[in-house]
Amino acid sequence: MIVAIDGPAGSGKTTIAKLVAKRLGFFYLDTGAIYRAFTLKLIRLGFPIDDLKKICDILDSTSIDIRDGRLFLDGEDVTELIRDPEVDKRVSLVAKIAKVRERLLPFQRRLVSGKNAVVEGRDMGTVVFPKAEVKVFLTASLEERARRRHKELIQRGKNLSFDEVLEDLQKRDEIDSNREVAPLKIASDAIIIDTTGKTIDEVVEEVVSIVLQRYKGDSILST
């Protein structure tokens, strides 16, 4: 069973998806982390964003692995490094490249094959898992999303102004929503949850109850 959670940057996807997966005893997959890891690798190699052949060659020789909630890029644990503001700034430029998406698509499906999973990203319900049993689209106002992201960055010791964070989110939204391949959009059968002004617990409860309602009677809980 797949629970697909999509939404824009800062909508609370990662926090919510992780907690929902924990509650249900499901495997959790953050697909943004995969795009972030590859972006980090490109940054380290001089960010050859206009050289498609080079990008594909690099991708072919890259290994991305997820073990115990940690993400490994060519064997190195980059779980924290992929959240750097430099990666934030550039990841959308990498994620809009059709060839990159094409190559990462089967990889994402393989990672959850045969598992009950909560998957989060931008195109989970529309492209990667169009048959997901539950589809949720999380959203929140731009200001609220920027406020959350700013707080998170400050907590991690990154000294960015609120306006910088807001501007960066706006840019990412624009690129993610307007790209030709698999843009951020709401699947026709997704349930929309606006998380503005809601607590994390409230949203987790809402998503878990959607899953349980859909599967009333079926034993999907691991505990």
Any contact of residue 3 with ligand DC (CB under 6 A)? no
- Footprint of ligand DC on 14-33 (CB under 6 A): 31-32
Stretch 120-139 residues interacting with ligand DC (CB under 6 A): 121-123
Count the residues of the shown chain that bind ligand DC, applying the rule CB under 6 A.
13
Interacting residues with ligand DC between 60 and 89 (CB under 6 A): none
Compute the least distance from the CB of residue 177 to ligand DC, in Å: 10
**Taking CB under 6 A as the rule, does residue 144 contact ligand DC?**
no
CB of 121 to ligand DC, least distance (A): 2
- Residue 36 engages ligand DC in binding (rule: CB under 6 A): yes
Nearer to ligand DC, 103 or 220 (CB): 103
From candidates 2, 9, 37, 59, binder to ligand DC by CB under 6 A: 9
3-state secondary structure the chain: CEEEEECCCCCCHHHHHHHHHHHHCCEEEEHHHHHHHHHHHHHHCCCCCCCHHHHHHHHHCCCEEEECCEEEECCEECCCHHHCHHHHHHHHHHHCCHHHHHHHHHHHHHHHCCCCEEEEECCHHHHHCCCCCEEEEEECCHHHHHHHHHHHHHHCCCCCCHHHHHHHHHHHHHHHHHCCCCCCCCCCCCEEEECCCCCHHHHHHHHHHHHHHHCCCCCCCCC
Q: Residue from 19, 24, 92, 146 that binds ligand DC (CB under 6 A)?
A: 92
For binding to ligand DC (CB under 6 A), which residues are involved?
9, 31-32, 35-36, 91-92, 95, 121-123, 172, 176
